[in-house]
Amino acid sequence: MTAAPGPPGLARPHAGAETENWVSTRLGIDLVVRASADAPSATLLESVELGLRRNPRRAQLLVSRLLGKHIPAPVEDVLGAAHALGGLVRGVCRDRTPVVVGFAETATALGHAVAAVSGAEGGAAPYVHTTRRPAPEGARPVQFLEEHSHATDQTLALLPDGVVGDAAMGADVPLVLVDDEISTGTTAMNAIRALHAVWPRSRYVVASLLDSRTGGQRRQLEEFGADLGAEITSVALLAGTVTTPPDVLSRAALLLDALPSPTGARGTPVPVVRSMVPLPDGVPTSAAQGWGSRCEFLLAGAMETLAGALPVFRDGRTLVLGDEEFMYVPQRLAAALGGQVRTSTTTRSPAAAVDTGGYPLRTVLGFPATEDPGRAAFAYNVAPSAQVEPGHAPGFDDIVFVTDTPVTAHVDKGLLRLLAASARRSVHVVQVRAGQGSAS
């Protein structure tokens, strides 16, 4: 999937090979991406780039242009990739509507958009995502580990009588697990083990943008399913291999220590406009307790109305920024504004920002998380690069920050101050509130 040309002055992304050379030269990490047999499209091959984590367990970060997380990307590309993956899911579910589970924090919106087209007739399938937020009263928490992540705990917190509750989870239909990347299969295995103990079934599907497992790791997951008495099928848009030297962690630690301080916000502050937007009755702000086809329909109309009230450019000069695992509503707002509007999201994951050609994360804003002022959060490529060729950080005239968390004093002094110094024209803060009668 190739992005359409942006407006004048908006830099086109770098090719993936250039990023691989920057990281490979320093750490000896080799990334090879190829079209998956499930989706043999060569146009996707340059959508993954190598970055550096600040994580003692894993050095490399595979940064996707199709996820809407670390790299501000045209929303039509982000949703288009998710819908393509949803088409693969629908194909392997054999005319049955599955239940779809997305993984926090990175794949919550990816799972949403996959579910939106995964029904047997091409409509929406029931959807829920894991969360790192506190479980609501009365929820049944099912927990498992994402062992390589900066934040390892994953919790599925379903209300027994919710949109996706015991009835949906207990039906023997395929259960689809959606993540942006399957690197070893361990997280999928941990999730299936935990879910199968509560809601056993005969079929699972593991869906991702990129599957970089070895053949042995693929067989291990299939054999694990057979031991449970279940079939596990995997689908992905891309396949890949990542090769690292034995001393990669120590080399990465030395490299991180030697990096210069990253570029942050440094412009003249622009006006910040705030609004509170209630969603339609019955529509929650997220799918942490479930999401169905009616939610999907009502959200579309609400975002069209909101988009019509925002005085922002409807092209790549505007960024719609989500808030950690709260990703899908911001993406749908971006889509209502226009397909070339960029979308990305804050994250709790620390990574290296290097403002140099060929590296995917050029700038970083660091601030107290909206949900917890005692925890750090980050926004990559939101502040403009200081280089003539800015890569994925060209800067934005208008930034629309969309959150479902109350905007308190620490958010004003932290993230909003940085956004105001990063945008060229305006910052709009949209606090979304769940509709009456919703699960959240």
Q: Of 47-56, 169-178, 310-319, 375-384, where does mean pLDDT reach its minimum?
A: 47-56
Q: Are residues 33 and 131 in the same domain?
A: no
CB of 73 closer than 8 Å to CB of 6: no
Query: In CATH, what number is assigned to the domain containing residue 129?
Result: 3.40.50.2020
Q: Is residue 176 situated within a structural domain? A: yes
Average pLDDT for 395-417: 98
**Residue 34 pLDDT greater than 90, yes or no:** no
d(CA 170, CA 418): 46
**Quick one: how many helices (H) and strands (E) in the chain?**
11, 18
Residue 440 has pLDDT above 70, yes or no: no
Domain assignment present for residue 1? The answer is: no
Residues 297 and 321 reside in one and the same domain: yes
Tokens of 236: 């992905």
- On whether both 286 and 416 belong to a single domain, the answer is yes
pLDDT number for residue 264:
74
pLDDT of residue 252: 94
Give me the pLDDT at residue 113, please.
98
pLDDT at 14 over 80: no
DSSP state of 435: P
Q: What is the CATH number of the domain that holds 409?
A: 3.40.50
Nearby residues of 115 by Cβ (< 8 Å), 6 or more positions away: 86, 100, 102, 124, 125, 126, 127, 176, 178, 291
Q: What value does the mean pLDDT take over residues 53-71?
A: 93
Q: Do residues 26 and 83 both lie within one domain?
A: no
Q: How far apart are alpha carbons 383 and 387 in whole angstroms?
A: 12
Q: What was the pLDDT predicted at 41?
A: 64
Q: Is the Cβ–Cβ distance between 325 and 293 less than 8 Å?
A: no
Place of tokens 């969603």: 279
* Other C-beta atoms lying within 10 Å of the C-beta of residue 92: 16
* pLDDT reported for residue 40: 60
Q: Average of pLDDT values for 135-144?
A: 89
How confident is the model at residue 135, as a pLDDT?
87
In 116-239, which ranges are continuous DSSP H helix? Answer: 166-170, 186-198, 215-228
Largest CA distance in the chain: 61
Question: What pLDDT was estimated at residue 153?
Answer: 83
11 alpha carbon, distance to own chain's centre: 22
Q: Considering the entire predicted model, what is its pTM?
A: 0.92
Question: What is the pLDDT confidence band of residue 337, given thresholds at 50, 70 and 90?
Answer: very high
Share of the chain above pLDDT 90, in %: 79
Helix/strand/coil for 432: strand
Q: Would you state the pLDDT for residue 148?
A: 53
Domain count, the chain: 3
pLDDT bucket at 20, cuts 50 / 70 / 90? very low
Residue type for 73, please?
A: A
Work out the percent of the chain whose per-residue pLDDT is above 70. Answer: 92
Residue 341 lies in a domain: yes
Average pLDDT over residues 113-140: 93
Write b or e for each residue in 109-132: b if 16 or more Cβ atoms lie within 10 A of its Cβ, otherwise e: bbbbbbbbbbbeeeebbbbbbbbb
Q: What is the predicted pLDDT for the residue at 124?
A: 95
283 and 428 part of one domain: yes
Query: What is the structure's pLDDT at 17?
Result: 35
Is 2 part of a structural domain of the chain? no
Question: Considering the domain boundaries, does residue 68 fall inside one?
Answer: no
Over residues 222-232, the mean pLDDT reads 98
> 332 and 223 share a domain?
no
Dihedral sign for Cα 361, 366, 369, 372, please.
positive
Handedness of CA 227, 228, 230, 235 (dihedral sign): negative
Q: Which of the residue ranges 38-42, 263-267, 359-363 would you say has the lowest mean pLDDT?
A: 38-42
Q: So what's the pLDDT on residue 46?
A: 84
Last-in-domain residue among 224, 258, 292: 258
Together in a domain, 116 and 185: yes
The CA distance from 344 to 61, in Å, is: 16
The pLDDT score that the predictor gives to residue 16 is 35
**CA–CA separation, 178 vs 143, rounded Å?**
16
The larger pLDDT score, comparing residue 219 to residue 162, is at 219
One domain, residues 164 and 309: no
* pLDDT for residue 9: 31
- Cα distance between residue 97 and residue 162, in whole Å: 18
- Do 224 and 88 share a structural domain? yes
The answer to whether position 378 is within a domain reads: yes
In this prediction, residue 42 has a pLDDT band, given cuts at 50, 70 and 90, of low
Q: Is the pLDDT of residue 19 over 50?
A: no
What pLDDT shows up at residue 437? 72
pLDDT in tens, 257-292: 999 887 678 889 999 999 999 999 999 999 998 999
Mean pLDDT of the region 33-55? 81
Q: What is the pLDDT of residue 336?
A: 98
**What mean pLDDT is predicted for residues 385-392?**
94
Cβ contacts of residue 257 below 8 Å, gap of 6+? none
- pLDDT band (50, 70, 90) for residue 10: very low
Mean pLDDT throughout 22-26?
84
Q: Which domain holds residue 124?
A: 75-236
Residue 66 located in a structural domain: no
Side-chain-side CA neighbours of 293 within 13 Å: the count stands at 12
Cα distance between residue 291 and residue 354, in whole Å: 38
Identify whether residues 117 and 53 lie together within a single domain.
no
Q: Which residue has the tokens 């339609």?
A: 280
